[in-house]
Structure 1
Amino acid sequence: MKGLIIGATGATGKDLLAKLLEDEAFSEIHSFVRKPMSISHPKLHAHVVNFETPEAWADLLHGDVAFSCLGTTLAVAGSKDAQWRVDYDYQYAFAEHCKNNGVSTFVLVSAAGAKAQSKLFYNRMKGQLEDAVKALGFPSLLIFQPSVLIRSNSDRGAENFSVKAIHFLNKIGLFKRYRPMPTAVLAERIRKEVATANKGIHTFTLDKIF
């Protein structure tokens, strides 16, 4: 199979890319990034692109499976508009061009609590993106909704504090639906589900991913 991926330099994307490169089912993986990648592999084809002009590289989006792992935080983006641009606009444009080019299976990494009608900006953004991608009509669509992600060697103080706090609350029976998940666990589940994906829309909540 030929795989396409955006977000391969992020925590989840890195783990997923590593697993796809090891998977004999994939003969080539095409990664679309903003700047050159620090890794190389015989099966990896890295394309440096401008996400503001997806039409310029849309012809490269031909394959069997597309993975959308792109995302940022409000703190990094600097504003809600900037975060929307990355988390919604870039990912939707990627999905739309993949669908137009005949990609049959699309994988979207979303978030727990994603709901188009949510009063919370992040959950509403993720929910609206899910609905928009569903409307494209991929033969097979896999949506993963993880909670707080445990990233290997994370240097984000606030993130590490949040993980520890939720772990503590989980131990006393609270916030089970938001228990932290290692990115490696999520990546491996994505790889396994793609290998046996049936037609239709499949949503994987936290419990299903674990």
Structure 2
Amino acid sequence: DCAGQVALLLRRVFRDGTAEQQQAVLKALSGVELYNATVKDIQHSDPSDLLHPFSLQYTVQEDSFMPPAENNKQITFYVGNPAEMRALLNTKPPEKPFPVSNRDASRTIDLAIDPDSFVITSRMPVHLHTKFGSYDSTSSYANGHLRIERALKLEPVSVDPADWQSFLEFLKGIEADEEQGFALERHIPGAHVPQSAPSR
């Protein structure tokens, strides 16, 4: 399920976009590791229904995602636009109040993992709340499903030069959590299976 600006983009693409545009957006949402994957079995709710969150389900297939010689892989998911985040982080310290546009996005991801083939662990939750906005990230793993919930909100404020460093620390905290990703490991019979970190 998606809400906020992410949902607006998806609604527009699935209402007016071509099949190629829809594929490109779904690959981008799936993370850089799966950008060359094949997207199929796409199911979504009515993009014109603004009374409910936009629901989207699809399958990605990447035969070369983890070659036989590899036993582990990092996978990442973003709630916002990584390019916009990096642009803000690379902005020079302002000499006058810096206007920040409103951003409000959330994603809930249910990733099916074959427990006979792979092991993946959830992570400790992250909750960042500042006067500039908020970021919440939780995950849990059970019965072969990794569930990830993330929400990002940037307030439409002007950041004073004196607060610029605090604003950057907030953005860096978001970037660090998203870039850390999740460790997907090939299941080796008889090997120790790590326990999932509890979500709060």
Normalising by the residue count of structure 1, what TM-score does the alignment of the two structures yield? 0.31
Which one has more relative contact order, counting CA pairs under 8 Å at least 6 apart?
Answer: 2
Structure with more helix by fraction: 1
Structure with more strand by fraction: 2
Normalising by the residue count of structure 2, what TM-score does the alignment of the two structures yield? 0.32
